[in-house]
Structure 1
Amino acid sequence: MAYRFWCGECGYKSDWGSESQGERQQIEHYAARHPGTPPGGQVEVNRKDPEGGACLPVVLVAIVLLILLASCRH
């Protein structure tokens, strides 16, 4: 899944990425922009593509099937 962390103090948003990447970016943001304030805000989950690449296995299976069909031609 892809996550984005929003700052609870300003309009900062982390990049889309893993939960740990977003959390790290939020902590770094708070240390630089809001020293002494514990990180807060909200976490957004990518609702358009919550699986983050779920079509890749389908594409790989299709390619393998095409290779098998091509190799079985008489």
Structure 2
Amino acid sequence: MVYRFWCGECGFKTPWLAESEGAQRQLDHYNKQHPGILAGGHVEANRRNPQGSRISGLACLQVAGILVLLLSIAAACRP
């Protein structure tokens, strides 16, 4: 599952991230932009796309396979 963390003080929000990474980015934001204020806001879970916008392992493997195929065709066409 991926999450987006919203600042309770301003309009800042993290991108869709793993829970621990999103929490850390929110904490970093508070330390930099709102020093002395405890981190607040809310957390949003992405239920429509639980893996986020990251390329899945299968998609990456498919892209690699297509690239190998194209390179093979290009190499076969060289005199």
TM-score (norm 2): 0.63
1:13-46 CA distances to partner (integer Å, 9 max, x unpaired)?
A: 0111100000000000000100000000000001
SS of aligned partner of 1:44: strand
Distance in 2, Cα, partners of 1:15 & 1:49: 13
Structure 2 partner of 1:17:
17
The sequence identity of aligned pairs, in percent, is 53
SS of aligned partner of 2:43: strand
Tell me the matched-pair count.
57
Cα RMSD (Å) of the superposition? 2.2
Say if 2:48 is the partner of 1:48. Answer: yes
Runs of 4+ in 1 over 2 A off after TM superposition: none
Distance in 2, Cα, partners of 1:16 & 1:40: 18
Structure 1 partner of 2:6:
6
What residue ranges of structure 1 are gaps of 5+ in the alignment? 60-74
Q: Which amino acid aligns with 1:31?
A: N
TM-score (norm 1): 0.67
What residue ranges of structure 2 are gaps of 5+ in the alignment? 59-79
